[in-house]
């Protein structure tokens, strides 16, 4: 076997390898992009969780200091961020079944947070006007939505792993 | 010519192999060491932290709504002083008025539009002003 023959043999083997690689690439790339999109969804949920947590702390702080107007403003900000979170997450693409489930749960969570924030704001307004019974009822409704939102958010976090 | 062919095909093979290895790692992020694991753990804690904060806020709002003691007016009324500082648009002024708590539902709907960013800024300024003024 001459050197030329060996080179020819290597060339053929290389071509076989490349052909195999070209077949595998389309199979592997979707896996990669699916993971990337789920990672992006996870990052988005984390980012908005932090924002919501900060807003909730402001609501909590203002409520405990008996500042209903400030609490209302904080609640409005909470609603705004929850709505923006919902819009941002709905734009994310989830390609795996887990990712799609997590996306649905996260959207449900932020929808409930939006409702909770609206009830907090309404409760603060009622308290400002001296309607304490109404304020209490509205705060109770808010707590229900907040609890549901928490359950959905934690489930979404678990689904995203 | 043949050597050039071999080099080209070899480079292509290496590229394909690299893509394959990269895809394999991307498909199983939980097997990564260091940052990937940290991110996963951090993610879970972010959501848990948010849930804890929201639950605490719900509890605080509920307990304070039913509290018969008077509100801290000195700390709470500071919000009205910043109204004149916002002169961007008429809509901004309207949104600022909503800070007082009369039209909470309008706030929730306003956020979809482009003017919402300005509204949010207004709230931010208002809140910080109030906190500094009499909250402490």
| Most confident residue range from A21-30, B7-16, B21-30, B72-81 | B7-16
pLDDT at site B3: 74
Place of tokens 């001296």: A130
Cα torsion B65, B69, B71, B75: sign:
negative
Q: What is the pLDDT of residue A105?
A: 97
Residue of A nearest to B130 (CA): A70
A50 and B49 within 8 Å at the Cβ level: the answer is: yes
Nearest one of A1, A22, A18, A5 to B2, comparing CA atoms:
A5
Size of interface A-B (CB pairs under 8 A): 255
A65 and B135 in contact (C-beta within 8 Å)?
A: yes
- The answer to whether the Cβ–Cβ distance between B71 and A127 falls below 8 Å is yes
Alpha carbon distance A120, A69 (integer Å): 11
Residues 107-126 of B with CB under 8 A from A: 107-108, 111-112, 116, 119-120, 123-124, 126
pLDDT value at residue B92: 37
Tokens linked to A124: 């603060």
Distance of CA B34 to the CA centre of its chain: 26
**CB within 8 Å: A161 and B30:** yes
CB atoms A73 and B120 under 8 Å: no
SS3 of residue B121 by DSSP = helix
Indicate the DSSP class of residue A60.
H
User: Residue A101, Cα to own-chain centre: how many angstroms?
Assistant: 11
Cβ distance A25 to B20 less than 8 Å, yes or no, reads yes
Q: Is B126 a residue whose pLDDT tops 50?
A: no
Is A135 a residue whose pLDDT tops 90? yes
Distance from CA of A79 to the nearest CA of B (A): 6
Q: How distant is the alpha carbon of residue B38 from its chain centre? A: 21
Q: What is the pLDDT of residue A58?
A: 96
CA distance B17 to chain A (A): 7
Write the DSSP string, A140-159.
Answer: HHHHHHHHHHHHHHHHHHHH
Both tokens assigned to A73: 């403003």
Q: Is the pLDDT of residue A100 over 70?
A: yes
Instruction: Read off the tokens for B135.
Output: 């909250």
**CA A154 to chain CA centroid, nearest Å:** 10
- The partner residue sitting opposite A7, judged by closest CB among B6, B12, B76, is B6
B 81-110 residues with CB < 8 A to A: 98-102, 104-105, 107-108
Nearest one of A110, A143, A149 to B65, comparing CA atoms = A143
Q: How far apart are CA B126 and CA B83, in angstroms?
A: 8
Closest CA to A158 of A81, A105, A113, A94: A105
Q: Do A120 and B61 touch (CB under 8 A)?
A: yes
- Chain A CB within 8 Å of residue B35 CB: no
> What is the predicted pLDDT for the residue at B32?
35
Q: What is the dihedral of CA A104, A107, A112, A115, to 10 degrees?
A: -140
Report the alpha-carbon angle A118-A57-A148, nearest 5: 50
ipTM: 0.79
pTM over 0.80: no
* B23-68 pLDDT per residue, tens: 544 444 433 333 333 344 455 789 999 999 999 999 999 998 887 7
Cα A142 from Cα A145, distance rounded (Å): 5
Domain range annotation of chain A: 36-160
Interatomic CA distance for residues B79 and B122, integer angstroms: 11
What is the radius of gyration, based on Cα positions, of chain A? 26
Contacts of A153 in chain B (CB under 8 A): 47, 50-51
Region of residue B113 (phi > 0: left; psi between -120 and 50: alpha; otherwise: beta): beta
Cα nearest neighbour of B29 on chain A: A35
């Amino acid at each position: 076997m001459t050197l030329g023959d060996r080179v020819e043999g290597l060339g053929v083997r290389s071509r076989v390898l490349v052909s195999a690689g070209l077949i595998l690439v389309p199979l592997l790339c979707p896996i990669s992009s699916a993971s990337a999109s789920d990672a992006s969804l996870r990052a988005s949920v984390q980012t908005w969780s932090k924002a919501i947590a900060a807003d909730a702390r402001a609501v909590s702080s203002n409520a405990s200091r008996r500042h209903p107007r400030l609490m209302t403003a904080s609640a409005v900000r909470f609603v705004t961020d929850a709505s923006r979170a919902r819009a941002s997450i709905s734009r994310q693409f989830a390609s795996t079944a887990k990712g799609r489930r997590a996306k649905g749960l996260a959207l449900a969570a932020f929808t409930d947070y939006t409702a909770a924030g609206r009830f907090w704001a309404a409760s603060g307004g009622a308290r400002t006007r001296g309607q304490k019974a109404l304020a209490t009822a509205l705060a109770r409704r808010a707590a229900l939505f907040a609890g549901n939102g928490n359950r959905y958010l934690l489930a979404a976090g678990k689904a995203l792993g | 010519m043949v050597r050039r062919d071999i080099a080209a095909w070899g480079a292509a093979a290496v590229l394909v192999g690299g893509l394959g290895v990269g895809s394999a790692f991307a498909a199983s992020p939980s097997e990564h060491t260091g940052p990937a694991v940290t991110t996963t753990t951090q993610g879970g804690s972010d959501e848990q932290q948010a849930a804890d904060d929201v639950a605490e806020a719900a509890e605080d709002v509920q307990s304070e709504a039913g509290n018969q003691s008077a509100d801290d007016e000195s700390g709470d009324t500071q919000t009205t002083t910043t109204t004149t500082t916002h002169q961007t648009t008429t809509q901004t002024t309207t949104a600022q008025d909503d800070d007082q708590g009369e039209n909470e539902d309008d706030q929730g709907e306003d956020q979809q539009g482009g003017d919402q960013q300005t509204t949010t800024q207004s709230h931010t300024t208002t809140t910080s002003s109030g906190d500094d003024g009499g909250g402490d």
